[in-house]
């Protein structure tokens, strides 16, 4: 006799676990997720632990711009914890003045845009609401 897996006599926590297991098997969850939507399957895999840290350290040794970005982000986190948004803006503006390297330049510009959004949340909220209204209007 085949038992109905979704019957009401099955303990509640077991149902979601079975569903999750079935989905995991059908979608092959073992594959890693890309860290950035533009990264390919072999680039920027999101992993944690000592192996990932060692891999990141090797990559930073091979690519000095990556080492700079890592240190800049660490500084940004420290400044943000201190509530010093002005220091973040100054740091990235200084980077823009000091380098012509395209990847670092693009990184600094993105972080400056982010700092601007953080510094002026009212303006960001207004822009997001306007964008949502425009997108909703196209759906009608």
Q: Give pLDDT tens digits for 20-64.
A: 555 554 444 344 334 444 444 445 556 678 888 788 788 878 888
Place of tokens 């099955």: 10
What does the angle CA 10 – CA 15 – CA 17 come to, to the nearest 5 degrees?
135
Range of the structural domain that residue 68 is part of = 50-139
The reply to whether 96 falls in a domain is yes
DSSP 32: P
The reply to whether 6 falls in a domain is no
What is d(CA 116, CA 66) in angstroms, rounded to the nearest whole number? 23
pTM, rounded to two decimals:
0.54
DSSP count for the chain of H helices, then E strands: 6, 0
pLDDT band at 123 (very low <50, low <70, confident <90, very high): confident
The reply to whether 13 falls in a domain is no
The reply to whether 99 falls in a domain is yes
The reply to whether 8 falls in a domain is no
Q: Give pLDDT tens digits for 80-102.
A: 999 898 899 999 999 999 999 99
The reply to whether 28 falls in a domain is no
The reply to whether 4 falls in a domain is no
Q: How many domains does the chain have?
A: 1
């Amino acid at each position: 006799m085949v038992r109905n897996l979704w019957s009401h006599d099955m303990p509640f926590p077991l149902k979601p676990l079975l569903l999750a297991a079935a989905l995991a098997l059908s979608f092959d969850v073992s594959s890693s997720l890309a860290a950035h939507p533009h990264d390919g399957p072999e680039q920027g895999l999101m992993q944690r632990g000592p192996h990932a840290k060692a891999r990141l350290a090797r990559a930073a040794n091979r690519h000095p711009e990556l080492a700079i970005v890592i240190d800049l982000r660490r500084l940004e986190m420290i400044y943000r914890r201190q509530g010093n948004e002005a220091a973040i803006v100054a740091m990235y503006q200084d980077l823009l003045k000091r380098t012509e390297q395209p990847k670092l330049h693009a990184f600094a510009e993105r972080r400056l845009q982010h700092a601007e959004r953080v510094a002026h949340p009212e303006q960001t909220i207004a822009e997001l609401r306007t964008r949502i209204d425009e997108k909703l209007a196209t759906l009608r």
